[in-house]
Structure 1
Amino acid sequence: MILATVSDDKVWKMWAFPSGELIMSAHLATASGDGTVKIWDFGKGVATLTLGDHTQAVWGCSFHDQGDFLASCSMDHTAKLWDITTGKCRQTFRGHADSVNHVGFTLSLWDARTGLCSQTLYGHINAINHVAFSLRGDTVASCDSDGIVKFWDIRNVSELESIDVGPHAANKLAFDPAGNVLAIASNDGSTKTYNIRDKQRGKDLGSGDDAIQAVAFDRSGDFLVTAGSDCMVRVYQ
């Protein structure tokens, strides 16, 4: 039960969850505006590997479940697949005409072996800030700078539903482990919730002037963590 946070203060921190005790443990990758991805050794407190093939800012990165590979996405219009053991870029995914803002592993959108795009989902009319897959892997949610959230059926390559939580931008998404609730980090300072099964908006969590930048459920689904531009991490039960 460990929570990792990263901040514009250029510091990453690890916390025991949900007690909030600051610790250092596990394996962490960070993506930076300097165009690099770094892998950190907590015991030594230093970066042991720097991945630097991107030519512009790196907006996000994601470990494969087995931990041997890492995907990154960048302002340079590409996503890359990295072999952590060798520190080499195994594949560059090209096809976006603008910045790639988020990356995640699935079985159907990109073929990691060939680097070819297998499906493209159309429907947003403004910048897409984040995507999140349900644990079953058959549904993906996406959100954009207008506050529009869309649900997609990956198997049929079709839009299932669209909801509007704007006019403020929706920055990040998270499914609960059961796949019934979606949490949405909003630029208006609140976290929106949506019950997917009942197709109903839930209670907004928090309020303030500073944007919510990230949301995450713990593996049991009992806790929701939010991170904001006010430099605060909040835990909801």
Structure 2
Amino acid sequence: MTEDRADLPPGLALSWGVLPVQRRGPKPALSIEQIVATGIEFGDRYGFEAVSLQRIAAQLGVTTNAMYRYVRSKEELIVLVHDKAVGLPPELPSGWRAAAIAWVDAQVKLYEDRPWLLDVPIRGAPVTPNLLRWVEVMLAALAETGLSQHDNLGCLMLLDGCARNYAGLARQLGASDRTPVQSEQVGQFLVPRLMEGGYPTLVSLYLNQEYEDDLDDDLEFGLARILDGIDVLIAKSP
């Protein structure tokens, strides 16, 4: 399928399989699929900054200028690579609450496998097939809540933010080579100074071993509170 895509956002038409109108000349040596697959490979190996027209062109044995026969810009390339790398969401369990937990967990796992996706700029609401499928399945699960479409979208944004925030924090902590804040040595150093300096609440947390960096517990706790809040919203809805 081909049609003019000049008035559409970069990558939108190509992501849906709508190719540009073909010009006369030699048959293209590459395909969009090859280019996108190479971009994902670079992202997985070297990170987001490695996903570039120049690098992909060199890998595929063509000039950078030749790449513009397939994609209009780096922005268009990133849109296509992002959507393909995200892939399809999992099948969600029944019940909106269980579905929300599975949806967030799947996003966290995705970012764990491909942390470079967190670096992809967000330029608006999702419009590409795979990203929209993630939205579709979660909105379908939330439909049983009886909330308005507007409220369901708001709930989805909260869940998405929860997954992104957790994944971003886990990524930073995983990349850090600094001594963890909850280490025994840090506690031994800080507790007497906290006592002297007037931090009684933090002293109590340290002494009770509650001031620890257990991200799994943080995710479960934060997500449960979000879901509890949605439950309250459901109960208040007419």
Q: More strand per residue: 1 or 2?
A: 1
Q: Is TM-score (shorter-chain normalized) higher than 0.5?
A: no
TM-score by structure 1 length? 0.20
TM-score by structure 2 length? 0.20
Q: Which has the higher contact order (CA 8 A, sep 6+)?
A: 2
Of structures 1 and 2, the larger Rg is shown by: 2
